[in-house]
Amino acid sequence: MSRKLKADIHAEYQEAFDRCTVRAESLGLAQGIAKRIVDLRSHYDAIEKKTTVPWWFAGILHYKEWNFREPALFEQTVADVLIAKKYHQATTRTLAAYLWGFDLWNGFQDGSGTESIWVWGSTNVLAKKTPQMGAAGILRHLHTQGLVKVSAPPQPAKSAGSSAKAAAKAVAKASVAKASVAKAAAKPAKKGKKLPVMYFSQRDNAAQAHRTCNTASCWMGALYMKTALWEACGEDQNADLNFYLPKVEAYGDTTDHGAQTNALSGLGVKSEWHTTLTKDDVKTELNAGRPVVLGVLHKGHVSSPRGGGHMILAVGYDDTGMFIHDPYGEMDLVNGGYPGSTDGSFRHYSYKNLGARFEVDGPSTGWGRIFKGSRA
């Protein structure tokens, strides 16, 4: 970040952040992103140690660029990119400077200053509402929690000639570095859809950790479809257990799909349980902006899946597979079970292997829950 930040631009970002608040309908998403950043902080601390770039800056980049995927690979890759972009040499280390630094990282592709969607998305700073959560909204939430600390006041700028030269170099390096990180990330193709659904794990449901996948998946879908539920549950990080599960149990067991339907309806979220779904049905729902609860057989080899069933939430797709919020972690789609990561957010499950576990008895035999209406 050798490119110099002019005083008037610094003031613009600072003034905007001083008045920045996350829009009500996006508070749940900001809360969930901030929680995930804190959960993965050890990776970002390692980046800070190597680059001096604050851990929270790296954490926000991890969400914005990688959707929290592959944290170990992110840690290894992005530290080098930050150094290549000279972020470790930044002399102005204020909140405003870092917000501008996010735009610099993104090459100002989504606007600059107070018109930057990449920075101000889902906040009151932008005149128009956007579904994209900007860096400032996440930073605001972390700052409110007392987790963001900055140091080193602004330093005098170099001469105009030196500044212009540094800017030219920074832009050139930014292009090269961004291409490098994109290649290293090995992301799936961008064609498709991805919904910004807040993730909940069933593993922290101490009472019924191994049997509340249905409740966790339905709750994630409900919270996305009706954002007011986040305030209703008191922004509880274990709301699937503490807030939603008791409502399900008023009608039956957590595994009872009828009980889930009634509990969701009681919260003002309409849904239907189906047993004849296809992959295309799921994609149609995702295109309409609605996540889909899927029933899969998670045990045994993919050639002969077995088990009593496991519920997951489809939150997006591309041309090779679906993005899944798996409340139990990352499934081994080939061999079955969960031998790896316990973080199941935005996992990319291939059509081939997911399909074999979803449409087990052939085409149009998939079990799942479809939400009705539009997001509110």
Q: What is the pLDDT of residues 301-313, one digit of tens each?
A: 999 999 889 999 9
Say what the pLDDT of residue 14 is: 92
Look at 205-209, 273-277, 316-320 and tell me which has the smallest mean pLDDT: 205-209
pLDDT band at 26 (very low <50, low <70, confident <90, very high): confident
- Please write down the long-range contacts of 354-360, taking CB distance under 8 Å and 24 or more positions apart: 354/296, 354/321, 354/322, 354/324, 355/279, 356/302, 356/303, 356/305, 357/296, 357/297, 357/298, 357/302, 357/305, 357/333, 358/277, 358/279, 358/294, 358/295, 358/296, 359/277, 359/278, 359/279, 360/297, 360/305
* Domains parsed from the chain with CATH numbers: 7-185 (no CATH), 193-371 (3.90.70.10)
Distance CA 132, CA 8 (A): 27
User: Do the bridges between strand 321-325 and strand 271-277 make them parallel or antiparallel, or are there none, so unpaired?
Assistant: unpaired
pLDDT, tens digit (0-9, with 9 covering 90-100), for 234-284? 878 788 999 999 999 999 999 999 999 999 999 999 999 999 999 999 999
Cα 277 from Cα 352, distance rounded (Å): 16
Where do runs of H (alpha helix) occur along 226-348? Answer: 228-232, 239, 245-249, 257-266, 279-287
Q: Which of 93, 41, 33 is nearest to 63 (CA)?
A: 33
pLDDT band per the 50, 70, 90 thresholds, residue 154: very low
Of 185, 188, 268, the residue nearest 227 (C-alpha): 268
Asked whether the predicted pLDDT for residue 162 surpasses 50, the reply is no
Cross-strand pairs, 271: 371
Q: For position 4, what pLDDT does the model report?
A: 64
**Torsion, Cα of 204, 308, 326, 316 (10° steps):** -150
Q: What is the pLDDT of residue 237?
A: 75
